């Protein structure tokens, strides 16, 4: 069965990545879900929590091409997409592909670049292709952007507008490891970094095929209405200025499918939706200013809605 192969893929990758990233199973799971859904992930966290290492470990485990880009204010769009250079020898323009031509792109501190450069990347993410000088170049598949953002430092940054945030399938936080995990991490890295010895466990080329299989996971009518009810409640919630977009409901739908598949099921259960909804929706919503001042976050709102939302069980 194809769903078993997805589960198998997931098990292998996560065991492998966990050799490097200790105690962050749910974050790794989110990234694998995004990879299977052809989505992009915004990782929001303070420096040093292992964002780069996570991206590299996943790329290495799946034998995918990996590039890292540091976003700075003087970054130009062409630095992202690539540039056409006139070849003196052959007397014609020759395209030099930018870092976006890869499988897994780590866009570090995306909010430090100017909106122009940001939108160049976000366009590439949305379209799956890049147009330079009227020439269109398709990106390789699979293609996943892991953009990072530092939530503490806002000095001299260009925060992503809502419309751009909406393009990310998920927003995840890594967070600090707990006491025991951090201790284990120090021991592991005493002599060598484990990433150096990490080998690939699956073939990254099968991912497009798995992506097609994920779409075939069943979502029964009651589960679809559960998602819609959830989305509707975010739109009507008093502390939210802006609820989740239709792209948000699609994201919950798709990621729940992927999560069901990686757990070996060909049907979505409420647990999948409850698990994926905060990561899918929180960055698409905007709080009322007074609620922001009260320290309430969109994630809390979603948890609150989920806490009271009745889950449909059984049929007629």
Partner 1 sequence: LAEYRLNHPISKISGRRERLTILAALFIFLTIAAAGITSVLINPDWSMLWRGLLFGLLLGWGLAKLKQKGWVSGLLIVITGYLYTLLFGGGLEQKIYSLLEQFTAGFSRYVFFPEDYPADISLLEQQILELANRGVVLSERVGNWIWTLVAGRAEYDPISTALIWGFILWLVAAWAGWVAVRYRNPLLAVLPGVLLSVSTLTYSQSVPFTVYLLLGLTLLLMAFVHYERREEKWDEAQIAYPSKKGLQINSAALLLAIGLVIFASILSSLSLPRILEWVSSLRENALVQEVNLGDSFGIQAKITPTPDPFIDSRSPGLPREMLIGSGPELSKRPMMTVEIEAFPQIFSGQAVIPIYWKSHTYDAYTGHGWQTSKTTLDEYQPNQQFQPEGESDHIVINQIVRSAGNEIRSLFAAGDPISINQTSTAAWRSPGDLFGVQINPTQTYGAQSQVLSPDAESLRKTGQQYPEWVRKHYLPIPEDLPGRVNKLALQLTASEPTPYDRTRAVESYLRSIPYSLDVPHPPPDQDLVDYFLFDLRLGYCDYYASAMVILLRSAGVPARIATGYASGTYNLNTKRFMVTEADAHTWAEVYFPGVGWIPFEPTGSRPTWEPTQTDLMSLNTDQQPSEIVPGQNNQKAIAWFWYSIIGVFALLSVLSLAFMVYDELRLYSLPEPAAAAEIYSRLKKYSMYLGVPDSTGKTPYEFAALFTSYLLQLTWGRGASNLRLTTTMYIETIIDRIVKVSYNPNPSQISDSPGLYHQWRTLRWRLRALWLQDKFDRWRDWTGRVLKPGPRRIVARSD
Pick from 266, 288, 292, 299: which binds partner 1 (CB under 8 A)? 266
How do 92-97 and 82-87 pair as beta strands? antiparallel
Interaction between residue 306 and partner 1 (CB under 8 A): yes
Tell me how far, at minimum, the Cβ of 279 lies from partner 1, in Å: 17
How far apart CA 107 and CA 298 sit, in angstroms, is 24
Interaction between residue 89 and partner 1 (CB under 8 A): no
Interaction between residue 292 and partner 1 (CB under 8 A): no
DSSP assignment, residue 141?
S
Interaction between residue 48 and partner 1 (CB under 8 A): no
Contact stretch for partner 1 (CB under 8 A) within 8-16, 26-34, 140-148, 287-295: 287-295
How far apart CA 60 and CA 250 sit, in angstroms, is 29
* Phi, psi (degrees; rounded to nearest 5) at 178: -80, 180
How far apart CA 6 and CA 260 sit, in angstroms, is 10
- Kindly state the tokens that stand for 238: 């008093």
Report the residue number, 198 or 292, with the smaller CB distance to partner 1.
292
Pick from 63, 84, 239, 299: which binds partner 1 (CB under 8 A)? 239
Report the residue number, 61 or 234, with the smaller CB distance to partner 1.
234
* Beta-bridge mates of residue 84: 95
Report the residue number, 242 or 309, with the smaller CB distance to partner 1.
309
How far apart CA 217 and CA 259 sit, in angstroms, is 10
Residues lying near partner 1 in the complex (CB under 8 A) are found at 218, 220, 222-223, 239, 265-271, 274, 291, 293-296, 304, 306-316
């Amino acid at each position: 069965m194809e769903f078993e192969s997805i589960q198998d893929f997931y098990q292998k990758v996560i065991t492998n990545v966990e050799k490097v990233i200790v105690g962050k199973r749910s974050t790794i799971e989110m990234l694998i879900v995004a990879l299977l859904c052809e989505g992009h992930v915004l990782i929001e966290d303070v420096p040093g929590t292992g964002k780069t290492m996570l991206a590299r470990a996943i790329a290495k485990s799946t034998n995918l091409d990996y590039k890292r880009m540091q976003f700075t204010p003087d970054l130009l769009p062409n630095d992202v997409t690539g540039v056409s250079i006139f070849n003196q020898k052959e007397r014609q323009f020759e395209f030099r592909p930018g870092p976006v031509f890869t499988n897994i792109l780590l866009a570090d501190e995306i909010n430090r670049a100017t909106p122009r450069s940001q939108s160049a990347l976000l366009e590439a993410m949305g379209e799956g292709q890049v147009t330079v000088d009227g020439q269109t170049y398709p990106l390789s598949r699979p293609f996943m952007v892991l953009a990072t953002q530092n939530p503490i430092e806002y000095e001299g940054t260009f925060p992503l507008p809502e419309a751009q945030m909406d393009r990310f399938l998920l927003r995840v936080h890594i967070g600090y490891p707990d006491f025991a995990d951090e201790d284990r991490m120090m021991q592991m890295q005493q002599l060598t970094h484990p990433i150096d010895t990490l080998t690939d466990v699956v073939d990254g080329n099968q991912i497009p095929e798995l992506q097609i299989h994920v779409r075939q996971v069943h979502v029964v009518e009651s589960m679809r209405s559960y998602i819609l009810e959830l989305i509707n409640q975010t739109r009507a919630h008093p502390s939210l200025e802006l609820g989740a977009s239709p792209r948000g409901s699609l994201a919950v739908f798709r990621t729940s499918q992927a999560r069901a598949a990686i757990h070996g099921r060909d049907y979505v259960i409420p647990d999948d939706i409850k698990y994926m909804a905060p990561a899918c929706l929180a960055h698409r919503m905007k709080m009322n200013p007074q609620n922001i001042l009260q320290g309430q976050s969109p994630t809390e709102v979603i948890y609150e809605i989920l806490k009271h939302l009745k889950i449909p069980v059984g049929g007629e």
